[in-house]
Structure 1
Amino acid sequence: MLIDSARELKARLSARLAEGLPAVTASGLGGRLWTRPAIGLAPVAPGRVHLAIRVVTPDDARILLTGLDETVRREVDVRVTGPILPHSSSPTRLRQPTRPLVPGLSVAHPSVSAGTLGGFVRLGGRLAVLSNNHVLAAADAGAVGDAVLQPGPADGGAPGDRVATLAAVAPLAGSGNRVDAAVATLDEGVTAEPGGYPGGPLAATVPDALEVEPDEDVEKVGRTTGHTRGRVSAVEVDGVAVQYDDGVHVFDDQIEIEGLAGPFSAGGDSGSVIWRSADRAPVALLFAGSSTGGTHGAGLTFAHPLSAVLAVLGVEWVAS
């Protein structure tokens, strides 16, 4: 169907969910109630898309699609993902103490296992590392002023490996989240190379979320899987339910990515900045993924539009 028609159908189904469809118990979440599928747009041809529906169990899709006529049902792309989890927990080099700091390194709050240093931003004139809330701020359990270690504790990081100070956090809510993000300003004497991505610096301009198109090739470098390539498989995905330690947090307006030949990401890659292969524009911040689903059955990765992350945190992207 045409993109505008798909958006109208997405809005209709989202309205049905808001009216209160019965909650579904997802066996993959240990009996927790998983209340809604994630819904976005998946490309099928130039200018045409299917409605992308991502569910934890097949029963979730059955409930959502009940009552839709067959013509509409032929225009939906339903995939069972299993539970979606935050990707915090490689290539050995990325897990070692490294100075100057570069994107892709293991990094974390002292109470977190390990995630990824995604890139660098400027906050109040100071250079800062960018990653997820659940990596740098322990999913709201940390406080501004806490230490950030490189490498993260899971990779041997100790108090002597402090490199930055938690400075700004986007808090997590039960629903309606846009981003899981935080930044930490570099401590005195800690050096960094913001342009140290595979292939060199990324572009200095961050595209608006609406400029990210389905079917674009993208790349990332992360603590666990290193440098990987993937393809945007859906955009404007609402209702992405992610199982954190403290419960389920639901995210709207997300980007879905599949690996080209295997998993695009794995646990520990949370916080990676994702860039577009064609022009090296930084487009997204990775935060979660599933272990199943996708064309190759290797799982799906979910990420926030980077423009939304920068706006929420009030920071400026630093390319080099």
Structure 2
Amino acid sequence: MELKSARALKDELLDQFRSEESAIPRIGRRVSAMAAHPLNLPIAMFPDTGGVGIGVAVLGAKQYGVAVRLQRKAPETQQLASLIHKKASGESDIRFIGRVKAQGTATPLQPGASIGHQLVTAGSLGAFVELADETGVYILSNNHVLAACDRGSPGDPILHPGPIDATNAAPATPIGTLSKVEKLRSRRASANVMDAAVCRLNDDVPFDPPQPNLTGVREPMGDMLVAKDGRTTGRTTGVVTAIDMDDIWIDYGDETGFLRFDGQIEVEGTGASPFSQGGDSGSLVWHPGSEGAIGLLFAGSDEGGTNGAGLTYVNPLKPVLIQLRAKLS
């Protein structure tokens, strides 16, 4: 049929079915964020046509019909779709699409997701951890990602995605609150050994366990193959090129300046690509062979290494977990 006819038929069908609410049961199911089980409440799970979307279908070049989208499988919706198909003289496109969800933090959080304090651009979710004597799930990342180099305070909201990655379709949404922070040492005589912090994940935020399933913590060794999931470069692989690196000066920008780190792990990317880039800070680094985690990625250079793509620096994980009284979930 012509476009004008398809639109007119669609409007006619909507007016008819909206005036016949009794034909579709309006007892819906709402899931409460704080409830362990769905609550059956007298609300409309789907408005008006009871989970049957109606529109104009494109059937071919200048050929149109009625689009029928079923959001729940039930005798009532199947019957309604059949009636629409008959009324459209067969010129319809009927599909089951299930529940349609708003995008954003409904997608389960995973390691490598973009996160950050409101005062930073964005970093990476490193791992899900548990804290001793505390309930709930926590996110492990860097101080400079979660606490903006000590400018943040416990209780501050942590956002996903990080502020720089926010869009109208996926705004920066609070997913947790800053909990514990290992303060950065700025005095020249004091060396840092970690750039780490944790935030408590809000109870209603869905998350996926780490992939791969980590078996614990491993000591880094030279030539060890490692991998990470990061906000910017995704999953990359590298090789440990040095351990126990002391006197590494890290540029944290104008507000914080240069800070000295001791006891760090150095990683070079395999192939021609770097192991990490800006925004990958906070990523957990692990050994693919044993699935044992070795460290927390926090810094990198633009030059150096056999491939010239730069080197990455990683906090050994064991001291981080001990200091924060945490263990991998």
Specify if TM > 0.5: yes
Structure-1 separation of matches of 2:145 and 2:106? 18
Secondary structure in 1 matching 2:179: strand
Of 137, 148, 156 in structure 1, the residue corresponding to residue 147 of structure 2 is: 137
Opposite residue 176 of structure 2, the aligned amino acid is A
**Other-structure match for 2:193:** 178
Alpha-carbon distance between aligned partners in 1 of 2:172 and 2:214, rounded to the nearest angstrom:
31
Identity %: 47
Structure 2 stretches lacking a partner, 5+ long: 1-103
Superposed structure 1 runs of 4+ greater than 2 Å apart:
96-99, 157-160
1:276 to 287, 292, 302: 287
Deviations 1:171-197 (A, max 9, x none): 0002311100000001131121122x2
Does 1 or 2 have the higher relative contact order (CA < 8 Å, sep 6+)? Answer: 1
Could you say what secondary structure the match of 1:126 adopts? coil
Cα distance, 1:153 vs structure 2: 0.3
Deviation at 1:140, TM superposition (A): 0.2
Match runs of 1:72-83 below 5 Å: none
Equivalence for 2:268: 258
Give 2:320's aligned residue.
309
Please give the root-mean-square deviation of Cα atoms over the aligned residues, in Å: 1.5
1:128 correspondence with 2:143: no
Q: Match of 2:319, as an amino acid?
A: A
Pick from 115, 119, 143 the counterpart of residue 111 of structure 1: 119
What residue in structure 2 maps to residue 30 of structure 1? none
Of 150, 159, 176, the residue aligned with 1:149 is 159
Q: In the aligned structure 2, how far is the partner of 1:266 from the partner of 1:237? A: 20
Q: Does structure 1 conserve the Cα–Cα contact (< 8 Å) formed by 2:117 and 2:148?
A: yes
- Measured after TM superposition, the shift of residue 111 of structure 1 is 1.0
Gap runs ≥5 in structure 1 = 1-95
1:249 alignment partner, one of 259, 262, 279: 259
Q: Which residue of 1 aligns with 2:65?
A: none
1:167 aligns with 2:179: yes
Q: TM-score, normalised by structure 2?
A: 0.63
Equivalent residue, structure 2, for 1:28: none
Deviation at 1:303, TM superposition (A): 0.3
User: What is aligned with 1:288?
Assistant: 299
Q: Distance in 1 between matches of 2:232 and 2:267?
A: 17
**Shift, 1:141, TM fit:** 0.3
Higher Cα Rg, which structure? 2
Helix, strand or coil for the counterpart of 2:200?
strand
Structure 2 counterpart of 1:84: none
Report what 1:52 is aligned to: none
Shifted more, 120-129 versus 301-310: the winner is 120-129
Change (3 A) 1:98 1:250: farther
**Matching residue of 1:17:** none
User: How far apart, CA to CA, are the structure 2 residues paired with 1:128 and 1:249?
Assistant: 27
Q: Give the whole-Å Cα distance in 2 for the aligned partners of 1:290 and 1:238.
A: 16
Q: The residue matched to 2:109 in structure 1 has which SS?
A: coil
- 1:98 CA drift (Å): 5.7
SS of the counterpart of 1:312?
helix
Query: Offset at 1:99?
Result: 2.6
Letter of the aligned partner of 1:178 in structure 2?
Answer: V
Deviation at 1:147, TM superposition (A): 0.3
**Who is 2:205 aligned against?**
190
Instruction: Kindly provide the amino acid, as one letter, of the partner of residue 156 in structure 2.
Output: D
- CA deviation vs aligned residue, 1:75-118 (integer Å, no higher than 9, x gap): xxxxxxxxxxxxxxxxxxxxx74632110100000111000001
